[in-house]
Amino acid sequence: MKTPLLLVVLLTACAGLRAESPAPTATAPTADHGQETELDDKMSAMNGAFKKLRRQIADPAANASSLELVARLRAAAEASIPLVPEKTKLLPEADREKFVAAYEAKMKDFVAEVQKLEAALQAGKNDEAAAVLARLGTLQKEGHREFRPAKKE
Ligand code: HEM
């Protein structure tokens, strides 16, 4: 009987292929599309602090509170550096490493700007702080354009 033998051969080949297919890489996030990711959580924390900062950055009387918000922004941004954007798993395997490295570099740039924001506030330079905050807004837009999935549902 030819058919059962063929079936056995095919099944064995499939099992072999499955065993050889690469395990999910460390760079691929595990959350399903549309599910909250750890990075989403950090971003939400950044969002809250960033919105408040925009309202009060020009006001020297609010500098103590602004410095607390900056500390929250900085902590969330630093914690975001080693996280992997959801979009990574939508990319071909060969492009992922470069993508994650570019994300990491961008987030480090962001943290460096947050440090400048902190320094400006500590020095009581609110005009300078407002200018740095505007740059953070630009980095946010660039970061989202490049690293955020086009649509999350
Ligand atoms: C002021 C700065 C920023 C704010 C306020 C902000 C805010 C947000 C918010 C509200 C979300 C959606 C979270 C959710 O769905 O619950 C988000 C997602 C995201 N943001 Fe930002 N963001 C900022 C900067 C950045 C930067 C600089 C980058 C990249 C270097 C970045 C990369 C991402 C990515 C990749 C996602 C999707 C999350 C994922 O892939 O798991 N963001 N951000």
Which residues have C-beta within 8 Å of that of residue 86, sequence separation ≥ 6?
29, 31, 33, 37, 39, 148, 149, 152
Domain ranges within the chain, ordered by starting residue: 2-147
* pLDDT digits 0-9 by tens, 128-144: 999 999 999 999 999 99
* pLDDT digits 0-9 by tens, 24-80: 444 444 445 567 899 999 999 999 999 999 999 999 999 999 999 999 999 999 999
DSSP state of 124: T
The yes-or-no verdict on residue 6 having pLDDT over 60 is no
Average pLDDT along the chain? 86
Please tell me the distance between residue 107's alpha carbon and the centre of ligand 1 in angstroms. Answer: 10
Written as six digits, the tokens of 137 are 């807004």
39-53 exposure pattern, b = at least 16 Cβ within 10 A, e = fewer: beebbebbeebbebb
- Please give the average per-residue pLDDT across 112-120, as a whole number: 98
The yes-or-no verdict on residue 92 having pLDDT over 90 is yes
Which CATH number is 2-147's, of 2.40.30.10, 1.20.120.10, 3.30.450.20, 2.40.160.20? Answer: 1.20.120.10
The yes-or-no verdict on residue 5 having pLDDT over 80 is no
Cα 37 to Cα 83: distance, rounded to the nearest angstrom: 10
Tell me the CA end-to-end span of the chain in Å, nearest whole number. 51
| Ligand 1 atom with the shortest distance to the CA of 49 | 5
Ligand 1, pocket-test mutation among 32, 43, 87, most atoms within 8 A of CB: 43
Lowest mean pLDDT, pick from 13-27, 41-55, 84-98: 13-27
| Ligand 1 atom with the shortest distance to the CA of 88 | 40
Nearest CA to ligand 1 atom 37: 148
